[in-house]
């Protein structure tokens, strides 16, 4: 497995594979890899001949008061996991490679980016869309894979790829969960022992709403088991993320974000 840092080096490697007629997959990550990321790599290996994994903690998707500085980083550990998983190339650019001096472009997605996370983290999807567009334009993969754990992010990236006619297939990969239902996330590392015990209640709450429970009741129940604040817990249309219309027969998704101590957990489930 090769490690490259620059866009030029990445492009040279990808060009070599392209000359050989090989199909290329990109798995964008922010590192601190867990089994959910490894599932993305597994899906990428099935979808293409060569798998590129990017590791880049993207500063533009964090607001100044968010957890950029304490975001977990472990490049050595990540490289070992990716080699074990069978990735072909890791691209780990420096911040200055992605955002050189004078960088002044930002992609603003509306539609699916506006509700839910868009209300609570208004800066977030602009940063995600900008970096993902740049990652895709640098690697020019046939397919780029993203976890359904960040379901709204996946919808925003699909919207951007469609609107900008990016020549790439955006593929979602199902969420990987612990045995007790907690969705794998790099941020789970922040949870204390007591918080970790309570955390699976978020999945339980959204699963109950997917089966018909009133979302307000489910949100109130989370507060009684130790969650500090529920930013949102709502049933939405799975494609547009507009409020779900009961009886519409359309695919739905229950999405939630809630705080356990200083950690904000998000999760979602289909119905």
Residues in the site for ligand PAF, rule: CB under 6 A?
28-30, 58, 61, 128, 131-132, 150, 153
User: Which residue has 């040279």 as its token pair?
Assistant: 12
- Is there a catalytic annotation at residue 34? no
The b-or-e profile of 184-200 (16+ CB within 10 A means b, else e) is bbbebebbeeebbebbb
- Look at residue 59 and give its three-state secondary structure: helix
Q: How far apart are CA 44 and CA 52, in angstroms?
A: 9
Task: Provide the strand spans (E) within the chain.
Answer: 2-4, 24-29, 50-55, 89-91, 143-147, 169-173, 229-237, 252-260, 263-270
Q: State which residue, 134 or 209, has the beta carbon closest to ligand PAF.
A: 134
Shortest Å, Cβ 30 to ligand PAF: 4
User: Which residue has 């959204």 as its token pair?
Assistant: 206
Asked if 3 contacts 90 with a C-beta cutoff of 8 angstroms, the reply is yes
Shortest Å, Cβ 147 to ligand PAF: 7
The one catalytic residue in 9, 34, 37, 124 is: 37
Q: State which residue, 170 or 222, has the beta carbon closest to ligand PAF.
A: 170
Q: How far apart are CA 99 and CA 101, in angstroms?
A: 7
Q: State which residue, 40 or 219, has the beta carbon closest to ligand PAF.
A: 40
Shortest Å, Cβ 131 to ligand PAF: 5
Q: State which residue, 61 or 188, has the beta carbon closest to ligand PAF.
A: 61
Catalytic residue positions, numbered: 37
């Amino acid at each position: 497995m090769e490690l490259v840092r620059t866009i030029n080096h990445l492009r040279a490697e990808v060009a070599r594979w392209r000359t050989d007629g090989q199909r290329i997959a990109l798995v964008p990550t922010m590192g601190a890899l867990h089994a959910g990321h490894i599932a993305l790599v597994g899906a990428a290996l099935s979808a293409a001949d060569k798998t590129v994994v990017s590791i880049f903690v993207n500063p533009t998707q964090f607001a100044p008061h968010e957890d950029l500085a304490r975001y977990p980083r472990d490049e050595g550990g990540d490289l070992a996991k990716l080699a074990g998983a069978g990735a072909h190339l890791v691209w780990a650019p420096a911040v200055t490679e992605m955002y050189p001096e004078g960088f002044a472009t930002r992609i603003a997605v509306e539609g699916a980016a506006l509700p839910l996370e868009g209300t609570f983290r208004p800066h977030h999807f602009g940063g995600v869309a900008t970096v993902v567009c740049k990652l895709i334009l640098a690697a020019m993969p046939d397919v780029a894979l993203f976890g359904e754990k960040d379901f709204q992010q996946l919808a925003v990236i699909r919207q951007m790829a469609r609107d900008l006619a990016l020549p790439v297939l955006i593929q979602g990969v199902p969420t990987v969960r612990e045995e007790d239902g907690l969705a794998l996330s790099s941020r789970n590392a922040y949870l204390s022992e007591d918080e970790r015990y309570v955390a699976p209640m978020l999945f339980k709450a959204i699963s109950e709403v997917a089966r018909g429970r009133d979302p307000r009741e489910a949100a109130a129940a989370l507060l009684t088991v130790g969650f500090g604040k529920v930013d949102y817990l709502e049933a939405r249309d799975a494609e547009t993320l507009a409020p779900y219309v009961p009886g519409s027969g359309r695919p739905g998704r229950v999405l939630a974000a809630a705080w356990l101590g200083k950690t904000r957990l998000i999760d979602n489930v289909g119905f």
